[in-house]
Amino acid sequence: MTNEDSAPAHLRRQKPKLIEPPAREELCNVLEAVLFVADSPIEIGALSRTVNAAKHDVSDALLELAEALRDRGVRLQRTGDVVQLVSAPRTASYVARFLGLEHPPLTNASLETLAIIAYRQPITRTGIESVRGVDCDGPIRTLMARELVEEIGRAPVVGRPVLFGTTVRFLEYFGLEKPEDMPPLPLTEQPIDEGEEAIM
């Protein structure tokens, strides 16, 4: 007999109960309930294990759920293999007031910096400043504090400068379900070569 077997019943480690996968017609509702109580974005693989359903079935059900929620107060937001429920853009001001999370609007400098990062990510600080023509330390700090951008890696060039990209919070802030929903931006200049700009 192990020490665990001899412990009082209420102190023994509980084994997770095996549950049957939900019926196909109920899978959307189950996923909605799980996402509703989650306090952070969830990987589709984790959802699949949670509901004991095949990953491709979960992905299909998430597409159905996203469509069902399109005209509701919440939306399904998906970034790669990560999903979460977020408030719809038209409800954002009411939700923010209720939660006391109202922020002052972003300055023009921050918005310009954010647009450069959003459309040219991954991009280095030098790359951002070569487009704006001015120092971007302040706007980048503001955007990182607001969790709209983050460091996503290092450029494989001399000095290995930090690469910046947008976050899931960025999508939520602008009411986007996925990065591909950003409106196309006509660019007249050539994209920046991160290798050349880092060595300059």
Nearest residue to 26 via CA among 66, 53, 55, 56:
53
- Options 2.60.120.10, 3.20.20.70, 1.10.10.10, 3.40.50.10860; CATH for 103-199 is 1.10.10.10
Q: Domain 19-91 maps to which CATH number in 1.10.10.10, 1.25.40.10, 1.10.3210.10, 3.40.50.1220?
A: 1.10.10.10
Q: How confident is the model at residue 169 (pLDDT cuts 50, 70, 90)?
A: confident
Q: CA 40, CA 62: separation in Å to the nearest integer?
A: 17
- For residue 11, the model assigns a pLDDT of 54
Instruction: Tell me the β-bridge partners of 79.
Output: 82
The pLDDT assigned to 17 comes to: 64
Query: Greater confidence, 72 or 5?
Result: 72
Instruction: Record the pTM.
Output: 0.58
pLDDT of 25-57, one tens digit each?
899 999 999 999 998 889 999 999 999 999 999
User: pLDDT class for 186, splitting at 50, 70, 90?
Assistant: low
Domain boundary assignment for the chain: 19-91, 103-199
Q: Which two tokens stand for residue 103?
A: 């922020």
Q: What is the DSSP string of 114-131?
A: HHHHHHH-SEEHHHHHHH
Cβ-based neighbour number of residue 145 at 10 Å: 10
pLDDT at 184 over 60: yes
Q: Judge whether residue 80 has pLDDT over 60.
A: yes
Domain 103-199 in the same topology as domain 19-91: yes
